[in-house]
């Protein structure tokens, strides 16, 4: 069966999830995480993908990226995937695949849904009970956004710049996003649209995308599959 082409619209970010096969670990130490980020930054620059937000977990990664064209995201992820598997297999004297099929990606509307996606991604370690506060997890973009720490991975999205005129006020307002957890409805919506590689946005935006691309933008309601934290 031919795989359905992912939904892409120029200028809109994509929420990307890549998991280890059978949910096994893809990072065994910090050197692995550093190497993955090396490959990610190089590939994103080469293929014109802006990375706005990310988190590296033990067996999966979340990325929020705006590709410059329809080929930018697949080429970026293909490059990272191939190079990292080669490194990982050599480092740990193993063979075979590492990833659970192809990565998943959903289009995100640039309004409150994008803000929710930032929170969803950077709160992953908190939901996994690894830390009590997202700032305690070093392998995410949260410290860059909330405290202004340098981060070679992050290309700031306009939604962040528009929070306030000054850097300190932007950071303060961003930290305010994290005072409350996402609702169950928000969590389910993000997980569902990512799993089915559809559109995270309101009905008007989904109507627009369906009319523009002549493809479904809404999740199926039967047989829903959870994708975890």
Write out the H or E segment, with its range, that includes residue 67: strand 60-67
Domains and CATH numbers, the chain: 14-202 (3.30.70.1290)
Collect all residues with Cβ–Cβ distance below 8 Å to 139 and sequence separation of at least 6. 33, 55, 56
pLDDT (0 to 100) of residue 6: 86
Residue 105's DSSP bridge partners are 16
- Contact (Cβ atoms closer than 8 angstroms) between residue 91 and residue 25: no
Helices and strands: H and E segment counts in the chain = 9, 5
CA gap 189, 122 in Å, rounded: 17
User: In residues, how long is the chain?
Assistant: 229
- Other Cβ atoms less than 10 A from the Cβ of 33: the count is 18
- Other Cβ atoms less than 10 A from the Cβ of 18: the count is 22
pLDDT (0 to 100) of residue 1: 42
pLDDT digits over 142-183, tens only?
999 999 999 999 999 999 999 999 999 999 999 999 998 899
pLDDT digits over 10-66, tens only?
999 999 999 999 989 999 999 999 999 999 999 999 999 999 999 999 999 999 999
CA gap 66, 72 in Å, rounded: 9
Provide the token pair at 189.
């919506």
Q: Which residue has the tokens 């700032």?
A: 135
């Amino acid at each position: 069966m031919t795989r359905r082409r992912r939904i892409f619209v120029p200028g809109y970010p994509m929420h990307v999830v890549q998991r280890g096969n059978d949910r096994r670990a893809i990072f065994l130490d910090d050197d692995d995480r550093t190497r993955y980020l090396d490959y990610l930054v190089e590939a994103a620059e080469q293929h014109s993908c802006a990375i706005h937000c990310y988190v590296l977990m033990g067996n999966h990664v979340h990325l929020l990226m705006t590709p410059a064209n329809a080929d930018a995201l697949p080429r970026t992820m293909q490059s990272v995937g191939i190079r990292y598997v080669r490194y990982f297999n050599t480092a740990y004297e193993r063979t075979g695949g590492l990833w659970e099929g192809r990565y998943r990606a959903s289009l995100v509307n640039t309004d409150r849904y994008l803000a929710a996606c930032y929170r969803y991604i950077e709160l992953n370690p908190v939901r996994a009970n690894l830390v009590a506060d997202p700032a305690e997890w070093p392998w995410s973009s949260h410290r860059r956004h909330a405290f202004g720490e340098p981060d070679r991975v992050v290309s700031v999205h306009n939604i962040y710049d528009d929070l306030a005129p000054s850097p300190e006020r932007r950071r303060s307002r961003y930290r305010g996003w994290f005072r409350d957890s996402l609702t169950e409805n928000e969590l389910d919506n993000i997980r569902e649209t990512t799993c089915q590689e559809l559109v995270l946005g309101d009905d008007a935006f989904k109507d627009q995308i369906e009319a523009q691309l002549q493809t479904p933008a809404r999740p199926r309601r039967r047989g829903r599959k959870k994708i975890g934290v």
